Structure 1
Amino acid sequence: MRTPIAWLNLVHEKTRLVVAIAGVAFAVILVFMNLGFLGSLAKSASQMYEQINADIYLRSPLALEISSTKPFAIERIYQARGVNGVERAMPLYLGYLQWRNPETRLSRAIFAFGINPNDPVFLIPELDSPANRAALLRPDTVLYDRLSRPEYGTQTIGTMTEARSRGIGRKVTIGGQYTFGGGFAADGTLIMSDQNFRRYFDPFPLNRVSLGLVKLRSDADSVAVVNELRRILPKDVEVITKADIIQRDRAYWIGATSTGFIFGMGVIVSCIVGVVIVYQILYTDVSSHLRQYATLKAMGYRSRVLCAIVIQEAIILALLGYIPGFAISLGLYDLTLRATSGGLPIAMELERAILVLLLTILMCTLSGLVSLQKVINADPAEVF
């Protein structure tokens, strides 16, 4: 049996090995967390659309993503209803209100949806309950998202507080609850009737729509309907499929906002930190065993054999550091999910776990390659 030189080198200094494993694990955790936030950013961008009952969307060409839409004429909704294959076309009104915490009296921006109570806008079963449907019809009454941040205050049905828009406050009552989640776009959401939306956002005429929702018949040709809508509708609206609008929002949040840049840069910095840590460990190990490496060269071992030993050490460190880093990241993911009440959809995925493992091995291997120069240049005559 071959002597496991790489393993014996590492365990010879147990304290150094523990420090090395801790350093690699730390880098792994950083990579996992940044990739997790980046992934949840992409998920939250599509989270709203996945719960909206529409196959095709109409929106202003000036819109960047769902929370920054620009209104367009409701006549576009009426025109869409006349296209063959369209089952229904529904208006959706969007905007931010200042919601006052009834306990602390502090106000915080909350995202509001305005809908016609008779339109099946959302794929949320709770909205079909008689109590919630009745609450939508009452003046100054809203449905409150359970996944909203605790900073908004109590969620109890019947709670009364104030909602403010354009400096004007109006009493509001929580008439029911639902589960939705706002992700990065919003810390909390509300659903109200279009008439209540008009009251809270006054002046906001209902003939100006934030988003148009087009639901197709089951036998409709979606491509043909999209092409027909693009042909008949003026250029003041875009006709976008569900897959395309989700992709555009993801691209906006990841590529056009500082949030996506920060998390992407965090992954790069984490890898650099890992490379530096492992390099320092391996360089120290090579330096302390330089006599042994020189002896092996004097015995006839070629440089590539000695380099293979260092690379093996790097891969062993990668695997030993990945295991605790992965385990701790699972706990941090769960902690983050609980801290955000499920509003931030962060979870471990198999593809991410494999990607980080490969990144860790690559990171440690790169560190080993950088530290090889001292082994290659080791001259027995000079060492002894």
Structure 2
Amino acid sequence: MNWIAIRMLTGDRQKFFGLVFGIAFSTLLITQQLTIFVNLLERGASGVYNVGAADVWVMDPVSRTTDVNFPMPATALDRVRGVPGVEWAVPHLRAGASVRTKDGDLEGVSVIGVDDTTLIGLPKGMVEGSRAVLEQPDTVIIDDVGATRMFAEGDDPIGERLELNDQRAVVRGIADSIPSFTSQVTLYTTYSRALTYVPGTRNRLSFVLAKSAAGVTPEQLVTRIEGQTGLRARTREDFAQDGINFIIENTGIPLNFGITVVLGFVVGVAIVGLTFSLFIRDNIKQFGALKAIGVHNGKLRRMVAVQAGMVGLIGYGLGVLGTVGFIQAFSSNPTFKGFYIPWQVPLLSLMAVTLIIALTGWLALRNVLKTEPAAVFR
């Protein structure tokens, strides 16, 4: 009987391809939008992910993320270093600035000052150059995505001179880093040099990066730092989550992507439901003939379930493959650097497709069960 159901389904090619297209389009829309949504949210934690050595981030109590921070006095560094359980603590500066290129263009950048001695705060990977170039005077390292935004294709950023707040800065390296949520150009330099590049208020220290000593967990160190210094301390994982939560709470991204996902579901139900209903209506005589020869409703339910399941699997597979192809096609685009498909996203798409198939299959099955055997003779 299952083979008969499949032959009935594939015999009407127009409706069969219409059903497959409806499921594939719905799966593609849901999977692709959820993938972009998740990756954009993770960009909110890029500033934390780019610093892998620190277990704990210490900041002013009003600071919320790496980009939304309030400077602290320089004495905060010594206070953190005096907390028992701190193996090391280094300063970290993050501030905005304006850069003028040799062509006279003005570009807003994010300047990050890393520890002068250990260079903690600088991304581990380098696309071009080495971390040691920061020992040279007036040196900055640009992130790889920012290099494509600031310089034309084919131009080598190495050796380019920039005017950074009326001071000379020379690009001598390209860092392999995770782009920020806004994909803003990021310049890395030493902490002492960043203080001169980005003049500001009396308090300049954005964060203190700390490492917990052996036998002390990051959570224990957070409690000690907050209790002894009065500053806000967060573990690396918690602070990364703070950046994600900030985007969720303060932007319209979740609502916009949520609407798109719902529309994908509704479109899938509409296309598949209408096409499946037309398919059942056109084959109502065949189902009536099956009833006339003694096929009971249980087997008819299985036949419709096989038809719906076949359409769902083929359409779902094509939709997921389309999403993979989209990510691969745009992987060379700096905007989509590091984008990947979390395993939860195809699972959520599968649940959505299953719900679409179950709903449309149930609506179509009602007509089959109501069919009288005499319908075949009318």
What's the TM-score, normalizing by structure 1? 0.85
1:57 deviates by 1.0
1:33-72 deviation per Cα after TM superposition (whole angstroms, max 9, x unaligned) = 1121122124333343233121111123333322222222
Q: Match of 2:162, as an amino acid?
A: T
Q: For 1:266-345, what aligned pairs fall within 5 Å after superposition? A: 266-340=260-334, 344-345=337-338
Query: Which residues of structure 2 form unaligned runs of 5+?
Result: none
2:212 counterpart of 1:211 = no
1:158 deviates by 1.0
Cα 1:91–1:135, aligned 2, differ >3 Å: closer, same or farther? closer
Cα 1:255–1:20, aligned 2, differ >3 Å: closer, same or farther? farther
1:130 deviates by 9.5
- 2:137 is aligned to 138
Match of 1:184 among 175, 181, 185: 181
C-alpha distance in 1, partners of 2:292/2:98? 77
1:200 deviates by 3.1
1:89-128 deviation per Cα after TM superposition (whole angstroms, max 9, x unaligned) = 222111223344555x54343322122322442364468x
2:196 counterpart of 1:199 = yes
Identity between Structure 1 and Structure 2 (%): 21
C-alpha distance in 2, partners of 1:13/1:89? 70
Deviating more after overlay: 249-258 vs 77-86: 249-258
- 1:4 is aligned to 3
Contact in 1 for aligned 2:141/2:173 (Cα 8 Å): yes
Q: Match of 2:143, as an amino acid?
A: D
Cα 1:268–1:255, aligned 2, differ >3 Å: closer, same or farther? farther
Cα 1:261–1:146, aligned 2, differ >3 Å: closer, same or farther? same
1:260-312 deviation per Cα after TM superposition (whole angstroms, max 9, x unaligned) = 33233332322222222211220110111122233334445444443333232
Q: Match of 1:178, as an amino acid?
A: A
1:247 deviates by 1.9
SS at match of 1:283: helix
- 2:258 is aligned to 264
- 2:94 is aligned to 94
Match of 2:221 among 215, 218, 225: 225
- 1:172 is aligned to 169
Deviating more after overlay: 210-219 vs 355-364: 355-364
SS at match of 1:337: coil
1:3 deviates by 4.9
C-alpha distance in 2, partners of 1:100/1:214? 34
Q: For 1:7-86, what aligned pairs fall within 5 Å after superposition? A: 7-52=6-51, 53-86=53-86
Contact in 1 for aligned 2:65/2:242 (Cα 8 Å): yes
Contact in 2 for aligned 1:337/1:345 (Cα 8 Å): yes
Contact in 1 for aligned 2:114/2:122 (Cα 8 Å): no
Q: For 1:233-252, what aligned pairs fall within 5 Å after superposition? A: 233-234=229-230, 237-252=231-246
C-alpha distance in 2, partners of 1:287/1:170? 76
C-alpha distance in 2, partners of 1:314/1:149? 50
- 2:346 is aligned to 353
Cα 1:317–1:87, aligned 2, differ >3 Å: closer, same or farther? same
- 1:151 is aligned to 149
- 1:118 is aligned to 117
SS at match of 1:4: helix
Contact in 2 for aligned 1:137/1:193 (Cα 8 Å): no
C-alpha distance in 2, partners of 1:245/1:145? 22
SS at match of 1:184: coil
What's the TM-score, normalizing by structure 2? 0.87
Q: Match of 2:266, as an amino acid?
A: I
C-alpha distance in 2, partners of 1:331/1:101? 37
Contact in 1 for aligned 2:50/2:122 (Cα 8 Å): yes
C-alpha distance in 1, partners of 2:292/2:147? 67
Equivalent residue pairs, number? 372
Cα 1:320–1:131, aligned 2, differ >3 Å: closer, same or farther? closer
Query: Which residues of structure 1 form unaligned runs of 5+?
Result: none
Q: Match of 1:231, as an amino acid?
A: G
- 2:365 is aligned to 372
SS at match of 1:158: coil
C-alpha distance in 2, partners of 1:143/1:32? 36
C-alpha distance in 2, partners of 1:131/1:36? 33
Q: Match of 1:203, as an amino acid?
A: G
Contact in 2 for aligned 1:254/1:260 (Cα 8 Å): yes
Deviating more after overlay: 30-39 vs 177-186: 177-186
Contact in 2 for aligned 1:314/1:364 (Cα 8 Å): yes
Cα 1:126–1:286, aligned 2, differ >3 Å: closer, same or farther? closer
C-alpha distance in 2, partners of 1:170/1:61? 32
SS at match of 1:345: coil
SS at match of 1:148: helix
C-alpha distance in 1, partners of 2:36/2:2? 43
